[in-house]
Amino acid sequence: MLKQRVISSLILAPLFIALILLLPNEWFKLLVSLMVLPAAFEWARLSGVHGNGLSWLYALGLIALAYLGYEYAADLQIQHWLYWLSAVWWGLVLVWIVLSQRRAVLGNFSLWVKLFSGVLTILPAWFALIALQAVDGFGPQLALYVFLLVWAADIGAYTFGNLWGRIKLAPLLSPGKTVEGLAGGMLAVLLLALAAAAYFGLPMRGFWLFVLISLFAAAVSVLGDLYESALKRQAGVKDSGGLLPGHGGVLDRIDSLIAAAPIFLLGYSQISH
């Protein structure tokens, strides 16, 4: 399993980085759509939708809604409100996680709540990634940075958790995650954010605001991971799918990213204006 994971990462990561940096925004939009389409399909399956046909219908409908919204986003400020809606959603997820751990009761969401939460999770991320890549000057680098931020948080958490992990973070949802791992992930993100803020040449106020936004987005990325873990536990499966050898499903790989992207863009917009 580990060997497959390393091999697929070595092949996919450089290719994906090159595509983020080199593709024009219209083609990058297609790339993001192709990335979230199977993730939306897996979300539908985890939510309890029976049959591949209905699951693909949900996924295609979500992408169609994204493209339709994109045509009117500039006039109706759809993106701006979507990012705030995403922030409210992840705040509610945090409250639910804290309460469920204290009461030692996970509970189970209805099919429609799960499907709607997929819209609240995936749609803002679709807009955010495309908007980041279109930012004047450092757009592609900013889009890549969000990926690196999530990867750094994941690697830091995995390393610190294996070496020093003792205190469980959310045992009902993900027994392998620890408080020490979370601290390691945040430390890795801090170092990355300091280097990135210097690379982007931000002024002092923007420099430290960028770092704080990065840390906050990384914290929200953990909520994305935990919420997907809840969906998998309620569905009784280990992985969201089997499309990526050694990694599970696409949703398993981007659950943290789709949580972090709109939050990061919402914060970054405060720096750029």
Q: Is 110 helix (H, G, I), strand (E, B) or coil?
A: coil
Q: Is 175 helix (H, G, I), strand (E, B) or coil?
A: strand
Range of the domain at 11: 2-272
Radius of gyration of the chain (CA): 18
Q: Is 61:46 a contact under the CB 8 Å cutoff?
A: no
Q: Is 272:207 a contact under the CB 8 Å cutoff?
A: no
What is the domain count for the chain? 1
Q: How far apart are CA 128 and CA 136, in angstroms?
A: 15
CA count, 13 A, side-chain hemisphere, 86: 32
Q: How far apart are CA 21 and CA 33, in angstroms?
A: 17
> How far apart are the two ends of the chain, measured CA to CA in Å?
46
Q: How far apart are CA 155 and CA 163, in angstroms?
A: 12
Ordered DSSP codes for 206-269:
HHHHHHHHHHHHHHHHHHHHHHHHHHHHHHT-SSS-SSBTTTB-HHHHHHHHHHHHHHHHHHHH
- Write the DSSP symbol of residue 77: T
Stated length of the chain: 273
Bridge partners for 248 per DSSP: 244
Q: Nearest to residue 214, comparing CAs of 193, 197, 241?
A: 193
What pTM, to 2 d.p., does this model score? 0.92
Residue indicated by tokens 């993100």: 189
Ordered DSSP codes for 80-143:
HHHHHHHHHHHHHHHHHHHHHHHHT------HHHHHHHHHHHHHHHHHHHHHHHTSTTTHHHHH
- pLDDT in single tens digits along all 273 residues of the chain: 445 555 556 667 788 889 999 999 999 999 999 999 999 999 999 999 988 999 999 999 999 999 988 877 665 577 888 899 999 999 999 999 998 888 766 667 889 999 999 999 999 999 999 999 999 889 999 999 999 999 999 999 999 999 999 999 998 888 889 999 999 999 999 999 999 999 999 988 899 999 999 999 999 999 999 999 999 998 988 888 776 655 678 999 899 999 999 999 999 988 866
Bridge partners for 170 per DSSP: 174
Q: Which two tokens stand for residue 70?
A: 């994109």
